[in-house]
Amino acid sequence: MKHVTTKNERDRLMIEALIFRCGQLSRAEIHELTHVQRSEISRMVRELLAEGRLLPAGRADNPMGRKQVLLRLNEEFRFVLAVGFDDENALAAVLDLHLHMRSSLREPALLDQGQEGLTRQLLALAHQALTKAEVDPKSLVGIGVAGSGLVNSRDGVMVMSSTVEFCQDFHLQEIFESEFGIPTAVENITRAKTVAERGLGTGDLDLDMIYVEYGRTGIGAGIVINGKLFYGAGYAAGEFGHTHIIEEGPACKCGSFGCLEAIAGAAALESRVRKAVGEGGTSSALALADGDPSKITGRTVLQAAGQGDKICAAIVEQAGNYLGVALANLVNLFNPAVIVIDQRLSLAGPGLLDQLKRVIQRKALRHSAKDLTVRFGSLGSEASLLGAGRVALENHFEIPALKLPRFMIETVKVPRRKNPTARTAA
């Protein structure tokens, strides 16, 4: 919880935070939500308008009395910087206070020079994104960084990564705050995408939601409980891909056997299709891979399945059954209102979503699954940056607590000084 030392400062920030969370508000609505005196709200709103932090947004459609002037954030008064990376790409973007992208950059991640090389690349991309957006770093209110790995969000440190091995004890918050002098939030990519899909995707703000990421290197889950991300005691919650599905299954990179990731992940799909093609099978996935079996990926398998390829469709259907069972377990454990499935799986076509829904309804407890919504994500490759930017903005607009001055909450020794107004003896 951040603190301020004066009530005026707290209340000004509270007004901005309310408008950030609720959208356009009138002075009367701010009063109803805060119970701050109307005269004080009017004074502070005048100040915020004069400073350019707020802008008028037309008039409310209230049925009685004078039409109230609505207020909105001036999205171009301040900005956020978002940075993301995994074992394939490094990304950066500048977003306004409404999370509209002013610039974005993407390039292959440089992983052959360890932490120092990746740090240089991420910082360079960040500066390039600011230059492209014509935004002064001093106008940033926050920086969000999303990385592929286990992240201690409290300390801003990537603890480890199974896909980028050198990302151990990677102090990303310290690196970016040292470079820019701007508060920086660090988050796991799956949880960043969860934040983005919750609210930014379709406008849903369900208090209990699960986002399932289906990436090239793993399957993860972002879990929202009562409106807040669930991290677990060691920030490792959501390792969905390493839940056990079958006995004596294939080996998983985690060291166990029969994990969801090992039997239904992208690597498992591509391995099975490559084997089928190598044994003489015919699949359109090979054409999508330019005739090179080594270039068949989970994405090409899903695309081919969506195009009606029999081999790929059968393999995806089997993987869908395993994934559906695992999702049913999540439903029984957490009873979410919504499950959002990674948009990349939509390449296989709407039939896969229908299959997942059927398996969940068949395997999960009836009461838990009765009102459940299951849908594909609506955000694409920009989801991690949008989520990182959203996390940074939520930190900036956190309503602060009023911290009283030190002399009011603890005993302090008051220095004795000569009274400058006392008359000096002749």
pLDDT in tens, 19-63: 998 889 999 999 999 999 999 999 999 999 999 999 999 887 766
> Which pLDDT value is given to residue 419?
54
Domain architecture of the chain: domains with CATH: 3-74 (1.10.10.10), 79-195+383-395 (3.30.420.40), 207-376 (3.30.420.40)
pLDDT digits (tens, 9 = 90+) for 119-166: 999 999 999 999 999 999 999 999 999 999 899 999 999 999 888 889
The pTM assigned to this predicted structure is 0.87
Give pLDDT tens digits for 174-205: 999 999 999 999 999 999 999 999 878 655 66
Beta strand 101-108 with 140-147 is unpaired
Residue 207 binned pLDDT confidence (cut-offs 50, 70, 90) = confident
pLDDT score recorded for residue 426: 40
Model confidence at 411, pLDDT cuts 50, 70, 90, reads: low
Whether 424 has a pLDDT exceeding 50, the answer reads no
| Three-state SS letters, the chain | CCEECCHHHHHHHHHHHHHHHHCCEEHHHHHHHHCCCHHHHHHHHHHHHHCCCEEEEEECCCCCCCCCEEEEECCCCCEEEEEEECCCEEEEEEEECCCCEEEEEEEECCCCCHHHHHHHHHHHHHHHHHHHHCCCHHHEEEEEEEECCEEECCCCEEEECCCCCCCCCECHHHHHHHHHCCCEEEEEHHHHHHHHHHHHHCCCCCCCEEEEEECCCCEEEEEEECCEECCCCCCCCCCHHHCECCCCCCECCCCCECEHHHHHCHHHHHHHHHHHHHCCCCCHHHHHCCCCHHHCCHHHHHHHHHCCCHHHHHHHHHHHHHHHHHHHHHHHHHCCCEEEECHHHHHHCHHHHHHHHHHHHHHCCHHHHCCCEEEECCCCCCHHHHHHHHHHHHHHCCCCEECCCHHHHCCCCCCCCCCCCCCCCC
